[in-house]
Amino acid sequence: MEKKLSINELGTITLIRGSRYKRYSLKVSGGQIIATMPEQGSEQRMLAFIADKKDKLFQLLQKQASSPTLLDETTEWQTATFLLRIIRAESEQPRLTISLREDTLTIQCPLRTRFEDEIVQSRLREILKNVFRREAKRTLPARLANLALQHGFTYDSVKINSSRTRWGSCSQRKSINLSLYLMKLPWHLIDYVLLHELCHTIEMNHGEPFWAHMNRVTAGKAKSLRTELTRFH
């Protein structure tokens, strides 16, 4: 069973209960905190555990945000639409293979792969970029349209680009651009970015009227969501 917890400074934490978990555990992966606990465990005990580790968790989040993530066989990264797993082949194989099944992207690498090699990292990042592009085109335009309809916005067009410096942008003509790297984020932060660009169809700058619109469409959570977004790169 999975549940989302909202913790000040740490943002949204994914809490997972299950019979395979024998102890309370925390890890930071892909800029997100994942908490696991026994199926019959105490949520209050988990919250106390998180509070005790709060400073360390915050430091880990900051560290991940400021340095590229090494992709290797220890990676288990939950993105918006799939879980990323990287494995080594059990026997010799000439090339890397990719499969996306049941919401899990599995990249199987040759047995003797040296993950610290920048060429290997570049290849893995390129694969992720291509999958992110496909997933962004598949999901983001429809999600943007739904949010616009829900909150009464109109826009001219939407395009997917590969920007690494901006999650999104909106032109004076209400044309919205969205980065394919949005797919690295959890859905509530993707929605925050989409709503941010929709609010720019009314207010192009970041003055008080703009943030008033943002608070209206995020139930007053614009500031906390903006802070949470800064942990991702």
- In 32-81, where does DSSP find H-type helix? 43-52, 54-66
pLDDT at 178: 98
Based on its alpha-carbon atoms, the radius of gyration of the chain, rounded to whole angstroms, reads 19
Tell me the CATH number of domain 133-229, given options 3.30.300.30, 3.30.2010.10, 3.40.50.1820, 2.40.128.20: 3.30.2010.10
d(CA 108, CA 73): 9
pLDDT digits (tens, 9 = 90+) for 26-67: 988 766 788 999 999 999 999 999 999 988 888 887 766 555
Q: Identify the residue with better confidence: 65 or 198.
A: 198
Give the helix/strand (H/E) hosting 227. Answer: helix 222-229
Is pLDDT of 208 > 60? Answer: yes
Which class for 40: exposed (0-12), middle (13-18), buried (19 or more C-beta within 10 A)?
exposed
Count CA within 13 A, CB hemisphere, residue 159.
Answer: 10
pLDDT at 7: 78
**Where do the structural domains in the chain lie, given as residue ranges?**
2-66, 76-131, 133-229
pLDDT digits (tens, 9 = 90+) for 65-114: 555 678 998 888 889 999 999 998 887 767 889 999 888 999 999 988 99
For the entire predicted model, the pTM comes to 0.70
Quote the strand ranges of the chain, DSSP E: 2-7, 11-18, 25-29, 32-38, 76-78, 83-88, 97-101, 104-109, 157-161, 168-170, 175-179
pLDDT at 66: 54
Query: Which residues are 159's β-sheet partners?
Result: 177
